[in-house]
Chains A and B, each alone.
Chain A
């Protein structure tokens, strides 16, 4: 007896609005059961997860800090995803952006240069690096029809090797006992801190600004409309004279540039140097964030904060309750599962259908 999912003709606005609330309620209930079964006070556990991380200025700053690279990458990815352009390689573009921006800062440092121009130039180099890396799958797609899902994903691993080469070779700190790390950046190459005593830096408002611009562009510009039509109705788009090639280019350059920006902001922010393992996989997590935010820039800001909170909460639960990695992983999975499942069911109808004899015999 197959289970069928059919798109609802007109998803109810009320259901869409209530879906996240239902998800949070379900997470709460199953979380209570999980923690209770493991012998922890469920109230303490949920408090550690969702309240403790954001009950101080430093906690809120950390939340914004963690959400920033996710939001930057996800906003860019959503632009392409809306037009069915599947950039899976934001992680690689992020790494190349960091390498270009960080490499520029280190070069300037070596020549003894400094000044207020270093940081903006770094950000530009980061964006440029990310765009250039994203241009490769775009070219392969429009010229040769190669699946951008595969090429962009595979280039992520190449990007990791490029960063590895840079920090093992030309950009390695000569006084670093041979460890694969660059020198620390000088102050000119670091994003200014916004709240003293925290790590919150200029990248967070930058990400909010990017999301706002993306929202305006998607909702109000012709290009935004084009991308939407190409995604929803490719044939209609062709008749309207909208170019799918242009959509590929826009999707990749925007998402690559923003991923590169996220990368350079991370190394010029909390990290302060180039290291081979500075990204815990922001570019991949951002794919989940993009869908969690329903591909809407403002939804993505919220989704980025929710996602960051699950990471901070997991850390807090490990520190204060001593929960093992496996349990915090299960709980995080539960949060995401319920959020995406309720959202899916708001758009899809489930039908149980009996297998007809003719089909069964075929």
Chain B
């Protein structure tokens, strides 16, 4: 599996940890995984556990993995991380933003342990960060939604108004309006990553407002189920959600951590692990689109696949101008592309999104 090392990327900081290889007579390498939700969420934590299983399949009895699921983001997370480090785990994946300061504090006490923190921005000699460019997937589904909508209203269920989610909304909306300039996006924030009840209510409210395509940046399959019942289109999040809405499911934007987890485990085994920051997309096989709904017209699939191939080739970027801000002013001039730094700090909607970002 091809994994493009992005160590040289401008974001990488805090390098320079030289470490001895883990010798064979220490027994298997113990690798810990800390999840914010249950593995059974069919979304975020589920996909991280798929990555863990890839590590088990790749290394067999050279590794021993351990999961701790449903870890609260308060004071508990530091204790869990500390417990894993104290019980001999030498590589620990912490897979929620809210663990960030706990990871940094615990890592300071355990210089012999390598920590991998998903979606954070603080690094240290023994703390690396990683995240996926989910917005590349949002761009492709934006093109499809623009072609599929008849009411020109798209419902979007947001979790928390953080840059990652706003970036997804914007990437989607820009692509949507390239195909269909009359379409608009309505957002409902549920202030949770995983709350099937609230997500279902938001989905119903958006459909009642006329939305005929639903997007979600939350982790439960509830919106997909509602879309199936009400006969509208929907895009799945984090894992392949087609079985929750076989006719509604356009595709899902799937996170794939398998290759990254295998590579980083290999590096610890080889003694070549270094801190850094990886932000991988389609090209790095961190983001993937589930099989398109078989009822989609072949030319739509071709349009989506062309866009995906162009993003992989680097000839297309979801944030290349012209892009207008919500008030119509120019956000990105024609021909220019937003930098990674601007993407990481994104805190305003583009034209075509209704409402305002909650403060």
Contact = CB atoms under 8 A, between A and B. Distances in A.
Interface of A: 58, 62, 65-66, 161, 164-165, 168-169, 176-180, 184, 199, 266, 269-273, 275-280, 311-312, 315-316, 318-320, 322, 324-325
A312 B73 contact: no
A316 B67 contact: no
Interface in B55-90: 66-70, 72-76, 78-80, 82-84, 87
A277 B359 contact: no
Nearest to A281: B72
B74 A277 contact: yes
A65 B78 CA distance: 12
B174 to A, nearest CB: 19
B121 A177 contact: yes
Interface of B: 32, 38-39, 66-70, 72-76, 78-80, 82-84, 87, 97-98, 101, 121, 160-163, 166, 191, 344-347, 358-359
B74 A279 contact: yes
Contacts of B67: 318, 322
A160 to B, nearest CB: 8
Contacts, number: 85
A150 B126 CA distance: 48
B135 to A, nearest CB: 15
A-B pairs with the 10 shortest C-beta distances? A270-B75, A280-B72, A169-B359, A178-B163, A277-B73, A278-B74, A319-B83, A318-B68, A325-B70, A325-B69
Nearest to B98: A277
A168 B161 contact: yes
B237 to A, nearest CB: 19
B219 to A, nearest CB: 15
A1 B73 CA distance: 48
Given A178-B162, A322-B67, A325-B38, A315 B74 contact: no
A65 B79 CA distance: 11
Given A179-B97, A325-B38, A65 B68 contact: no
Nearest to B64: A322
B76 A199 contact: no
A319 B32 CA distance: 9
Contacts of A269: 75
Contacts of B191: 161, 164
Contact of B74 (A177, A179, A271): A271
B72 A178 contact: no
